[in-house]
Amino acid sequence: EAKDSGRNRYSIFSKDLSLFLHKQRNIASRLRASIQKNEFTLLYQPQIDLRNGSIISCEALLRWTPEVAEHSAPPDVFIPIAERTDLIISIGRWVLEEACRQARHWRNKGIEICIHINVSSSELEQDDFFERLTKCREKYDLPPSAIGLELTENILIKSDEQVLDGLQKQRALGVEISIDDFGTGYSSLSYLKRFPVSHLKIDRSFLENAPESEYDGALMEAIVNLGRKLNLQIVVEGIETQSQLTYCQNVGIECAQGYLFAKPLPAKDIETRLLEQG
Ligand code: C2E
Ligand code: MG
Ligand code: MG
Ligand code: MG
């Protein structure tokens, strides 16, 4: 009997697995079709100066917008699939182009904020990544400070001399380079010494309980001190509540993103806020 139920469990598992794989393949083929049709959008989440509440920069966040809305999926679902299938390379090219186009559009209206884009490891490993970044800035007549790069720790840990060299050159030009989700990847910190980083984005998970939990608070403060000592700008991700905001201000954090201030917004909406703020 035990054997039977074991076999059942196995067949249920394998059914789940094949359904899962089937869904993944479906998403991949629909993504491929959407690349042909440019069915993507960038939303922009403001990054706030906690000392005065003003918007100082923003992060571009990708949304998949196929004609049939039910065929879409959130970034946490479709981006890992795009990464495994290398579709992320075409998608990332679109993101770069679109962010540059937006930056030019805003600059024509006198808005000069940095747009930070997320970059996956397979994009960064493309031989022509840095060349395309430079060419795209030139095409839209943008200074290096117009487009920032967000990379995760895991990307930096495994990246080679070519990537290191490319990042160093961009950083020297004034490109802002952020470590995204800081604290959630590999625990080795030695890459901070090797790589030309300008910003640490502290992952939301550290902030969640920091106001109440002494333990989480200690972790947050240790990261903030580390960043200060290394002369890095600290950005906190995911401020949702007033008590989290007060906590961050007390710790001396100067920049944050989070639903308390704004969710990722359509370009037009953040533009309105930026024009109001002058
Ligand atoms: P991320 O780069 O760490 O982006 C921050 C995520 O946290 C975003 O999720 C954002 O909407 C969400 N967030 C911001 N404030 C809050 C808050 O107060 N509370 C909560 N609960 N969440 C908040 P989103 O837009 O779903 O993106 C998820 C991830 O997908 C991103 O994480 C990033 O890793 C990836 N991603 C997004 N756009 C791109 C892209 O253009 N290229 C690549 N390669 N990856 C991207
Ligand atoms: Mg990011
Ligand atoms: Mg993040
Ligand atoms: Mg993330």
Which of ligand 1's atoms lies nearest the C-alpha of 95? Answer: 41
Question: Residue 1: which pLDDT band, with cuts at 50, 70 and 90?
Answer: very low
161 alpha carbon to ligand 3 midpoint, in Å? 25
Residue type at position 178:
S
Give the contacts of 255 (CB within 8 A, at least 6 positions apart). Answer: 47, 48, 49, 50, 56, 233, 234, 235, 236
Name the region of 219 (left: φ>0; alpha: ψ -120 to 50; beta: rest). alpha
Give the pLDDT of residue 6.
55
The residue to mutate among 57, 59, 61, 93, having the most atoms of ligand 1 within 8 angstroms of its beta carbon, is 61
Please indicate whether residue 244, judged by its CB atom, sits closer than 6 Å to ligand 1. Answer: no
Enclosing H/E stretch for 234 = strand 233-236
Distance, CA of 123 to CA of 187 (rounded, Å):
23
The interface predicted TM-score of the complex, written ipTM, equals 0.98
pLDDT digits (tens, 9 = 90+) for 102-126: 999 999 999 999 999 999 999 999 9
The 10 Å Cβ neighbour count of residue 72 is: 17
Each residue's pLDDT tens digit, 202-222: 999 999 999 899 999 999 999
For atom 34 of ligand 1, the residue with the nearest CA is: 118
Nearest CA to ligand 1 atom 10: 264
Please indicate whether residue 18 or residue 59 has the higher confidence score (pLDDT): 59
**Nearest partner of 265 among 45, 19, 54, 25, judged by Cα:** 45
**Could you say which ligand is closest to the alpha carbon of residue 150?**
2
- Cβ of 152 closer than 6 Å to ligand 1, yes or no, is no
Cα separation, 96 vs 73, in Å, equals 21
Would you give the distance in Å from CA 29 to the centre of its chain? 24
Q: What is the pTM of this model?
A: 0.94
